[in-house]
Amino acid sequence: MSGKAGTYRYVSTKERIDMAALHLFAERGFKGTTIKDIAKVVGITEGAIYRHYKSKEEIVENLIDRVIKDLGKRLSDAVAKGKNLTEKIKLAVDTLITYAFEKPDCFRYLNIYHLFKKSPKDKDRRFPGKILMGLFKEAYRAGVIAVKPELALCITVGTVERLFIFNEIGLISKGDRSFMGEVEDSILRAIGIKNGVISKNIAL
């Protein structure tokens, strides 16, 4: 059902399976989630799931493709708006932080996948980290950042991941816009961008 009164949007069974699986995988991990668990959340039989997917592994693969396509597009679109490399990096960092808190299940799922899964398809997948690495390599060659691209990627992704975890366990509040702006500022300074105007308009 859509947000407008009296209007409805059909949500396919496959989409409901995907959303249930995404949440369960993000919360319980891959081993801790069974087809039976997914079916129970969706309100269908296990057999009904097998009409859409051959296995749990196929669901896992489909979901990682969806997540990296979604975040990858957001990053690419953000970077494209930047007028120079400094601005592109700022927009990319802002997008990554925003995504983590707008779509926590997706962000958590991406992290779990990186930690616990390995697929032959991964070498051909354009993970968001590849987009950031490409940007950092260009910026490093141009002298825009002071640290090597690999370190810039570690600093950026590691900081956002830790920020996300600390919010999950209640150590920090994502509603504190001033704090979130300081996080973005700290990342940019850590990779060697100084005296820039840091965006405080992170969507939370």
Q: Read out DSSP for 143-188?
A: TSSSS-HHHHHHHHHHHHHHHHHHHHTTSS-TT-HHHHHHHHHHHH
Closest-CA residue to 55 (of 82, 27, 31, 34): 34
Q: Which two tokens stand for residue 35?
A: 């087809």
pLDDT of residue 174: 62
Report the alpha-carbon distance of residue 191 to residue 149 in Å, rounded.
Answer: 9
Q: Are 82 and 173 in a shared domain? A: yes
Q: Are 93 and 158 in a shared domain? A: yes
Q: How many domains does the chain have?
A: 2
Its domain, for residue 19, covers: 8-53
Q: Are 106 and 15 in a shared domain? A: no
Helix (H) or strand (E) holding 139: helix 128-141
Q: Are 115 and 148 in a shared domain? A: yes
Tokens 């409901």, residue located: 16
pTM reported for the whole predicted model = 0.86
pLDDT of residue 175: 60
Q: Are 79 and 169 in a shared domain? A: yes
Give the Cα-Cα-Cα angle 129, 164, 106 (nearest 5 degrees). Answer: 60
Q: Long-range contacts made by residues 3-6, C-beta under 8 angstroms, separation at least 24?
A: none
Q: Are 45 and 108 in a shared domain? A: no
Closest-CA residue to 112 (of 174, 67, 54, 170): 67
pLDDT of residue 56: 97
Report the alpha-carbon distance of residue 154 to residue 175 in Å, rounded.
Answer: 25
Report the alpha-carbon distance of residue 88 to residue 82 in Å, rounded.
Answer: 4
CATH code for the domain in which residue 31 is found: 1.10.10.60
Q: Are 74 and 162 in a shared domain? A: yes
pLDDT of residue 8: 61
pLDDT of residue 57: 96
Per-residue pLDDT of the chain (204 residues; tens, 9 = 90+): 444 555 566 789 999 999 999 999 999 999 999 999 999 999 999 999 999 999 999 999 999 999 999 999 999 999 999 999 999 999 999 999 999 989 999 999 999 999 988 888 999 999 999 999 999 999 999 999 999 999 999 999 999 999 999 888 888 776 666 777 888 999 999 999 865 433 334 333
pLDDT of residue 203: 39
Q: Are 147 and 167 in a shared domain? A: yes
Closest-CA residue to 189 (of 85, 95, 75, 90): 90
Answer whether residue 1 is part of any domain. no
